[in-house]
Structures are given as structure tokens and as C-alpha cells.
Chain A
Amino acid sequence: MLKILKYSFFDLMRSRWSYVYLLFYLLLGIVLLFLNNDLSKAIITLMNVIIVLIPLIGTVFGIMYHYNSTEFTQLLLAQPLKRSTIFLGQYLGVALSLSLSLVIGLGIPFAFYGLFYSDAIWDFSLLLVTGAFLTLIFVALAFNIALSNENKIKGFGYAILMWLFLAVIYDGLFLMSLVFFEDYPLDKASLIGSMLNPIDLSRILILLKLDISALLGYTGAVFKSFFGTNLGLFLSLGCLVLWVILPVWRLIYVSKRKDF
């Protein structure tokens, strides 16, 4: 698996898009840190960008990589390699190279800003960890969609719809249902509702750490009162891990039973 990972990783590292992505984060980091005098505001803005953009980029990169390497995957399938090895290797290659772009792109401006000597280092690391998780989750979801759809246009459409649903529509539906059922006790329902969406989960995770109650929103507040800050942090992190494991498990399951 490491060999496949290595080659997928280097293949992507040579692609122009990895550098565009890296450059984007560099610019974003520099602009937010050096043209803004409030560090916590910068981190919140960064969070909002990361939480919407990382899933989108992860989805698009994941789905494009899978479809672009179809023929090469077939060549690999004819080699004495296990299917799980091939697909896990490719998945990790994409997810790790994207995560690396994120960590380097945001890390450099933060390092120059002198973040290593400030208290915000933990908030910042959590931001990066969450970003890495979102990359892992959405690349895995994209690979799942690509593997289940031979038709590229359909697969691409479903992937974008998935992103749109989780990043935008889900919140709207969620809020509407909260308003609609306001006469009922909603704590548990809203807790479950936010765990079912990795984007919401990441937002709550970061806001819990930043301890900004004004921005927590209803679910965040429920999260905090229900579990307390520390348990809430661990629980939401645990949910994110589950969000990685389940799609990856399905990826392996489906790939073993598929005809190529």
C-alpha cells in the first residue's frame, strides 16, 4: 500500500492544481493575519472559509483523481496487488497531499506571524487538525461516489450535490425543523442531527475550543451544556474519526466486489 500511496502522492505533487491550492491558503493566511489586527477574528474567518472550502476541494479532487486514473487503476488491478491496497493507497495519496497543502499553506504565514510563541497555537492546531479530518472525510466520500458511478457526469453531479447538501442545505433544513418542532424537547434530536453532518461537527468542535458562546448556535450550546467543553471536544473528535472510518470501510467493501 505504501508504494501506491507514494506514487499517487508524487503524481499529485507534480500537478499544477496542488500548487494553486497551496498558494490559495498562503494568500488567505497572509491576508487574514497581516491585514487584520485581531487574531481570534482571523481564526474565525479562517474557520468559516475552511469549513466550506475544504469539503468542496476534497470532493472535487477526489472524484477527478478517481475518474482520471481509471485506466491506470486497471493496469494496477492486473498486477499482483490486493484491491484494498490499491484503493486505500490512492485514497491516502490524494487525502494526504491535500492535507499537506493546507498545513503548509496556512502554517507558513502563521509561523511568520510568530504564532509559536502565542497562546493561539492550540486553537490554530485544532483548526488544521479539523481541516485534515474534513479532507479525509470528503475525499473518502468522493471516492465512494466515484466507485459506485461509472458515468463521470453523474458521479460528478452527485458529489457536488452531496457537498451542497452537507455545506448549505442541511443547515437550512435543520433550522427549519427546529422552528417547526419548537414545542417539543429538541436537545437530543439536535445533537444527533449535528453529529450526522461532518461540517456541522467541525464547526462545533472549533467553536467549543475557541470558547465563543455567541457563535456556538443552538446545537453548539446544547453540545456544551450536555457534555461540557472537554467531553464535547472528545466526542465530536470521535465522531469525526467515525466519519472517516465508515466511508473508508465502504470503499474497501465495494472495491472488493466490483467488476472492472
Chain B
Amino acid sequence: MVNIIDLHKSFGKNVVLSGVDLNTDQGGIYAILGPNGSGKTTLIKSILGMVLPKKGTIEVLGENIKIDSAYRNHIDYLPQIANFPNNIKVKELIRMIKDLRGAKNTNEENLIRRFQLEPFLNKKLGNLSGGTKQKVNIVLTFMFDRPLIILDEPTTGLDPIALIQLKELIRIEKDKGKTILITSHIMSFVEEISDEIVFLLEGTIYFKGTIAALKEKTEQPNFEHAIASILSKHHA
């Protein structure tokens, strides 16, 4: 699905990614983890073509992403901060994104019901709370049914009910055989849903594999401690 070869990126003197190789051909849910500033968002934005790599190639569904912007048709992306134009209504925003992507078959009704957004459809986005905006963000992401889903901190601001709904939704999408990339700081969430961990540290992939393999490698019985042990070992 996504194939990254020797990806390098720096902002000025600050080297963020130095030689990342990643292949997600088996499908499933990949959790991209790492301490703050380890390049998680840069990696995701490189896949989306928002950050231009210094070196290396990225292929999405076999297409080199440098050539054409049309590959983004295959991606559903949930950005980290959901901030929309304040003047327009939820309903209009949904219609607008549909129009911009030129998509006909969308399942936003289901998603609106799932997250109980009906009372907000005619409200302006400027008047919504952070959590409700995030729900709208989720609807905008999941309504297109594309093979690759990228979620950047999807749990931000969600209440427990919405969180349960989100997990269920992610599982449904996974069962359709999609590839899902997630970044999150909530370890319990990651442990619950992800099939594979991609751990970024100082610009390279320090560990890639299942949670069980990570526990074995670090000799820790608990996932959160396993992550913490990588970090402390590295800083020691």
C-alpha cells in the first residue's frame, strides 16, 4: 500500500527523518509512535505530499507520489487540528469536501448517526466545541471509503462514547482489508487497536513489529512500560 524507501527530511539544520524505510503491504492497522519531535507528523505529511522530502521515494499503491496529485484520491486523512472556516455550516462543509473530491458514493449519513451529529448539521463550525469539531473531522475522513486511511491523533477531544464509536469504526474499516496508519499518544488506545507498531526514534525506525514482539524485545510485561524502557534506555 505505502512503500517508503530511504526517506530523508530536514528543516534547516534540524534533521527530522534520516533514512526511513517502511512497507505496509500486509494491510491492517499500523501505529506510528515516538517521542515528541521524532518525526511522526513529518512522516505522515510526507506520505500526503504536504512535506517535500529531501531524498528518497514514496509510493502509494505503486505510484510514485512525486508525479501526480491524483494519488490522494486513494487516501482518507484526518488532520491533527480540526479547524475549519468559521462562517460555514457543518452540512455545507460536508457537501463542499464531497464536491472538491468529486465523490458521489459517500456514507456520511451513517457516520452522522453514529456520532450523533444531527443537531449540529445546521450550526456554523465556529460555534462548535472542540470535541464536536473532531467528530465532524472524523465524518469528513471516513465518508469516502478509500483503501488507505491516515489518522493523526484521532482521539483528541473525544468523549468516551465517541471514542468507543471511533474504535468500532476503525475495526470495521480494517475488516474491509484497508491499511490504516495512526499516530497517538494514548497508549491504551494504541494497544487496543493496532496490529503493528512503528517506533520512530531520532529520525529512523527503531522498531517495527507486533506489540508482543516489542514486549519480548524489551523484556517488559506491559506495553506502556515497554515503550518507556526504549525511551529511557536511549536517553541513558
- In the assembled complex, the Cα of A75 lies from the Cα of B94 at a distance in Å of 13
At the interface, yes or no: B215 with Cβ under 8 Å from chain A?
no
Contacts of A69 in B (CB 8 A): 85
Residue ID in chain B nearest A85 by CB atoms = B69
**A interface footprint on B77-88 (CB within 8 Å = 1, 0 otherwise):** 101011111011
Contacts of A7 in B (CB 8 A): 96, 100
Segment of B31-39, B44-52, B197-205 in the binding face? B44-52
- In the assembled complex, the Cα of A84 lies from the Cα of B127 at a distance in Å of 31
Contacts of A70 in B (CB 8 A): 83
At the interface, yes or no: B207 with Cβ under 8 Å from chain A?
no
Contacts of B79 in A (CB 8 A): 71, 74-75, 78
Residue ID in chain B nearest A70 by CB atoms = B83
Shortest C-beta distance, A74 to chain B (Å), equals 6
Shortest C-beta distance, B89 to chain A (Å), equals 10
Cβ-defined contact, B11 with A15, below 8 A: no
CB-contacts of A208-260 with B (<8 A): 257-260
Contacts of A4 in B (CB 8 A): 100
Shortest C-beta distance, B123 to chain A (Å), equals 14
Residue ID in chain A nearest B83 by CB atoms = A71
CB-contacts of B127-155 with A (<8 A): 140
Query: How many residues from B make CB contacts under 8 Å with A?
Result: 28
At the interface, yes or no: B97 with Cβ under 8 Å from chain A?
yes
Name the contact of A259 in the complex, choosing from B52, B81, B97, B101 (C-beta under 8 A): B52
Cβ-defined contact, A71 with B81, below 8 A: yes
Query: How many residues from A make CB contacts under 8 Å with B?
Result: 24
Name the contact of B87 in the complex, choosing from A14, A257, A260 (C-beta under 8 A): A14
Shortest C-beta distance, B141 to chain A (Å), equals 10
Contacts of A83 in B (CB 8 A): 69
Shortest C-beta distance, B83 to chain A (Å), equals 4
Contacts of B48 in A (CB 8 A): 77-78
- In the assembled complex, the Cα of A40 lies from the Cα of B26 at a distance in Å of 76
At the interface, yes or no: B75 with Cβ under 8 Å from chain A?
yes
At the interface, yes or no: B99 with Cβ under 8 Å from chain A?
yes
CB-contacts of A1-60 with B (<8 A): 3-4, 7, 11, 14-15
At the interface, yes or no: B23 with Cβ under 8 Å from chain A?
no
Contacts of A81 in B (CB 8 A): 69, 72, 100
Residue ID in chain A nearest B77 by CB atoms = A78
- In the assembled complex, the Cα of A77 lies from the Cα of B140 at a distance in Å of 14
Shortest C-beta distance, B194 to chain A (Å), equals 22
Cβ-defined contact, B70 with A77, below 8 A: no
Shortest C-beta distance, A49 to chain B (Å), equals 28
Shortest C-beta distance, B66 to chain A (Å), equals 12
Shortest C-beta distance, A45 to chain B (Å), equals 34
Cβ-defined contact, B100 with A3, below 8 A: yes
At the interface, yes or no: B116 with Cβ under 8 Å from chain A?
no
**B interface footprint on A55-90 (CB within 8 Å = 1, 0 otherwise):** 000000000000001111011111111110000000
Interface residues of A (CB under 8 A from B): 3-4, 7, 11, 14-15, 69-72, 74-83, 257-260
Interface residues of B (CB under 8 A from A): 11, 45, 48-52, 69-73, 75, 77, 79, 81-85, 87-88, 96-97, 99-101, 140
Pull 10 A–B residue pairs with CB atoms less than 8 Å apart, ordered by A: A7-B96, A69-B85, A70-B83, A72-B84, A75-B97, A78-B75, A80-B69, A259-B11, A259-B50, A260-B45
List 7 A-B pairs, minimum CB-CB distance, nearest first: A71-B83, A80-B72, A78-B77, A260-B50, A80-B73, A14-B87, A259-B51
